[in-house]
């Protein structure tokens, strides 16, 4: 071992954590500001529980509204992290290193919020647990034929998997934080998170394998989650919903909106933490290419979906199709097409468009577009039932709007708090990347949390205990 | 085995809505008021759909009472996560109010849009509370409900017949809508019994099922002498 990589590793350590430290006051302001929205969220939900679900704008025939739209939207956002970071890990993409942690955190928090929406949506939330298969004296079980029960199974699996997937790579960093913290509550907090991490070869070996297994296992889980969310719609008889394309269509849409969030998060990270060295222009170029590909795939699916409906000539399907393309929902529909397909293709097809700022702006547009897509799936199909006498209308109430905006605040608050407490950039993975970039097999060991991963490209196995 | 069914003769229906009122009174259906009704939250288990044919002034109105079709293959049942709606042995799509958590999935999957939801807790201010039917539970807020074929009357009729040690006679059990129909447009009884009135009506060449090509196998049969046309948009 030479001194140089060790010093570099230490320097990187301090550099990264120092940058995170300097942003702390800004983060605190962010947490407090989003905290106000958290209060809005809980006030609105409390108001709804106290007064009844009727304080929303939903009615007959539009029995599902903003809550289900936001449920699908947030579950889609959750694909930013685990799925994309897992694919990047499995393919050993070097530029994943500064991205994975923030992406995985997006997943966990977006899922937590997405998972709340079906509960907010319930008429009697106090007995939501009737949907959970728990042993009870009356021998009553949930109805396993219902896609909602599949949903619970899928989302619970995904939340547990994502939490583990966020937590495992966090252990060595928690150990670094523990070693840096002065004795006290803070140290104890990090000590609990670090699970007694000492950076032994054995521990690195176990960690590496744990992450590998999870990265592979989480991919089918992520695909299944959004497929099952689509089945909440596709398994019904409702015109506009019963479609075999919905499973893959939803997965593609989720990855698409996931990349949109990732583009925004990466642009912010690069700017906020001055990570130009890691989040290079090439990274944005590559991710931009993936982004425009997803946009085209999404556009193709949308086209295929609507062409078959139109061609079928089915009266009831055509009614829904008509309000969507030419009727009451034409403005949101064509807005969606513009921000999800026209703008991304127009901007991202050119190398100059695949730079941080334009990709982030396109990402913002895609987020709006993908929200509109979910709106256009839920509402027009319900407001255009088969029996024309029941044709209806839907406008959200202030409670629904409050909960929707409040949910964004909850997300921001969780994210800011996480960033304050733990490194949002995986320090040990950056160090590992640093070593790879230096071309050496040497391992720097500045603390108990040495990045001497045996399974990585490094030919030096283990690297020894601290 | 019994399969409760109903036949509705559209050629006899005058659209007077006596059945709608009778149903509300019999089944303790809450009255939501003008404002809520305008928002699409009226709770009627039975509605008279009005469809207009022709151009003004040569307009003809068609009436169609639409209620839960008590489907033999009900789309509402498999989607409920908690078995709050299920098929009972006598062919009714039964609702277990205490089991319902209010996902409203069943209502979305009903092709006839006949399910109604308690958006708020029901209020029956005096003296309305003294006209509540003691045989029917008042549903709490957040719960789905719909036509039950007056299951309380079916139960009472069966109990009475059992006490007298005999079978339930055809026409003995009457639903509230049937009882109140001034033109006798509704028949109710056992579809499994070929001699019952409802079976004879269902055999009519005028009989059809609403949205029959969905093959939900409804327990409600409609009769119409002239060809039923989709209302012109």
Give yes or no for A277 touching B (CB within 8 A): no
Across the A:B interface, residue pairs with CB atoms under 8 Å apart total 137
Range of the domain at B201: 4-223
Give yes or no for B140 touching A (CB within 8 A): yes
The answer for residues whose C-beta is within 8 angstroms of residue A4's C-beta and 6 or more apart is: none
With 0-12 CB in 10 A as exposed, 13-18 as middle and 19+ as buried, what is A215? buried
With 0-12 CB in 10 A as exposed, 13-18 as middle and 19+ as buried, what is A50? exposed
- Of the candidates B47, B111, B144, the beta carbon closest to that of A237 is on B111
User: Cβ of A323: how many Cβ atoms within 10 Å?
Assistant: 21
Q: Are strands B186-190 and B4-9 parallel, antiparallel or unpaired?
A: antiparallel
pLDDT tens for each residue of A81-106: 777 788 888 888 777 887 888 889 99
Domain count, chain B: 1
Decide if B211 is inside a domain. Answer: yes
- Predicted complex ipTM: 0.91
Query: How close is the nearest chain A Cα to the Cα of B39, in Å?
Result: 7
Decide if B173 is inside a domain. Answer: yes
Decide if B232 is inside a domain. Answer: no
Give yes or no for A146 touching B (CB within 8 A): yes
Decide if B229 is inside a domain. Answer: no
Decide if B52 is inside a domain. Answer: yes
Delineate the domains of chain A, giving CATH numbers in brackets.
14-133+149-438 (1.20.1630.10)
For the residues of A40-56, what is the DSSP string, one character each? HHHHHHHHHHHH-GGGS
Tell me, what CATH number does B191's domain have?
A: 3.30.70.20
List per-block mean pLDDT (blocks of 10 residues) for chain A, which spans 466 residues.
51 71 73 91 96 93 95 91 80 80 90 94 94 88 94 94 92 88 86 90 93 90 93 93 93 92 86 76 88 96 93 90 92 96 95 92 96 95 91 94 95 88 84 73 41 38 33
Query: How close is the nearest chain B Cα to the Cα of A388, in Å?
Result: 8
Which phi-psi region, left, alpha or beta, contains residue A220 (left: φ > 0; alpha: ψ -120 to 50)? alpha
Decide if B228 is inside a domain. Answer: no
Asked if B43 and B29 touch (Cβ cutoff 8 Å), the reply is yes
C-alpha–C-alpha distance, residues B6 and B189, integer Å: 7
pTM of the model: 0.90
pLDDT tens for each residue of B38-69: 999 999 999 999 988 878 777 888 899 999 99
Decide if B121 is inside a domain. Answer: yes
Asked if B109 and A390 come within 8 Å (Cβ–Cβ), the reply is: no
Asked if A295 and A344 touch (Cβ cutoff 8 Å), the reply is yes
pLDDT of residue B27 exceeding 80, the answer is yes
């Amino acid at each position: 071992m030479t001194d140089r990589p060790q010093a570099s590793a230490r320097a990187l350590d301090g550099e990264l954590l120092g940058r995170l430290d300097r942003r702390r006051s800004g983060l605190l302001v962010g947490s407090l500001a989003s905290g106000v929205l958290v209060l809005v969220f809980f006030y609105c939900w409390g108001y709804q529980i106290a007064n009844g679900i009727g304080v929303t704008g939903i009615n007959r025939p539009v029995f599902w509204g903003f809550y289900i739209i936001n449920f699908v939207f947030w579950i889609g956002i959750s694909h930013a992290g685990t799925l994309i970071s897992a694919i990047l890990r499995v393919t050993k993409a070097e530029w994943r290193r500064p991205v994975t942690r923030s992406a995985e955190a997006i997943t966990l928090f977006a899922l937590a919020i997405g998972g709340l929406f079906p509960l907010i949506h319930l008429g009697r939330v106090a007995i939501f647990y009737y949907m959970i298969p728990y042993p009870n004296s009356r021998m009553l079980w949930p109805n396993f034929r219902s896609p909602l029960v599949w949903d619970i199974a899928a989302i619970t699996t995904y939340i547990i998997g994502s939490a583990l997937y966020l937590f495992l790579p966090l252990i060595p960093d928690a150990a670094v934080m523990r070693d840096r913290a002065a004795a006290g509550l803070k140290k104890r907090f990090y000590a609990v998170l670090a699970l007694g991490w000492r950076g032994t070869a054995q521990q690195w070996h176990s960690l590496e394998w744990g992450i590998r297994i999870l990265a592979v296992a989480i991919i089918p889980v992520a695909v299944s989650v959004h497929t099952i969310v689509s089945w909440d719609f596709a398994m019904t008889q409702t015109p506009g919903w019963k479609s075999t394309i919905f499973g893959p269509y939803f997965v593609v849409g989720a990855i698409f909106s996931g990349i949109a969030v990732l583009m925004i998060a990466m642009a912010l990270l690069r700017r906020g933490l001055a990570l130009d060295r890691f989040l290079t222009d090439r990274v944005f170029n590559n991710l931009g290419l993936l982004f425009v590909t997803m946009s085209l795939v999404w556009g193709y699916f949308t086209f295929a979906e609507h062409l078959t409906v139109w061609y079928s000539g089915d009266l009831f399907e055509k009614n829904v199709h008509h309000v969507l393309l030419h009727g009451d929902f034409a403005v949101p529909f064509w807005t969606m097409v513009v921000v999800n397909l026209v703008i991304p293709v127009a901007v991202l097809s050119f190398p100059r468009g695949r730079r941080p700022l334009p990709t982030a702006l396109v990402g913002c547009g895609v987020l709006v577009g993908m929200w509109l897509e979910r709106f256009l799936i839920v509402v027009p199909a319900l407001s255009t039932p088969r029996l024309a006498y029941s044709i209806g209308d839907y406008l959200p109430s202030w409670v629904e709007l409050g909960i929707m905006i409040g949910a964004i605040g909850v997300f921001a608050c969780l994210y800011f708090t996480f960033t304050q407490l733990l490194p949002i950039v995986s320090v040990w993975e950056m160090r590992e990347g640093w070593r790879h970039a230096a071309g050496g097999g040497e391992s720097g060991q500045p603390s108990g949390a040495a990045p001497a991963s045996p399974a990585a490209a490094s030919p030096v196995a283990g690297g020894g205990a601290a | 085995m019994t399969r409760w069914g109903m036949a509705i003769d559209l050629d006899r229906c005058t659209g007077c809505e006596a059945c709608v009122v009778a149903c509300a009174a019999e089944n303790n259906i809450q009255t939501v008021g003008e404002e809520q009704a305008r928002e699409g939250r009226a709770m009627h288990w039975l509605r008279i759909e009005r469809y207009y044919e022709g151009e003004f002034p040569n307009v003809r109105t068609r009436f169609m009472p639409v209620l839960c079709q008590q489907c033999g293959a009900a789309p509402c049942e498999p989607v409920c996560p908690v078995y709050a709606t299920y098929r009972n042995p006598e062919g009714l799509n039964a609702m277990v109010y205490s089991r319902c958590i209010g996902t409203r999935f069943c209502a979305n999957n009903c092709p006839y849009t006949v399910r109604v939801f308690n958006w708020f807790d029901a209020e029956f201010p005096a003296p309305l509370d003294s006209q509540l039917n003691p045989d029917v539970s008042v549903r709490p807020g957040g719960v789905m409900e719909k036509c039950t074929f007056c299951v309380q009357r079916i139960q009472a009729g069966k109990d009475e017949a059992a006490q007298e040690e005999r079978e339930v006679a055809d026409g003995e059990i009457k639903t509230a809508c049937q009882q109140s129909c001034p033109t006798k447009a509704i028949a109710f009884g056992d579809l499994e019994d070929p001699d019952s009135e409802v079976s004879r009506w269902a055999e009519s060449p005028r009989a059809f099922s609403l949205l029959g090509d969905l093959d939900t196998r409804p327990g409600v049969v409609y009769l119409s002498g002239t060809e039923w046309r989709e209302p012109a948009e």
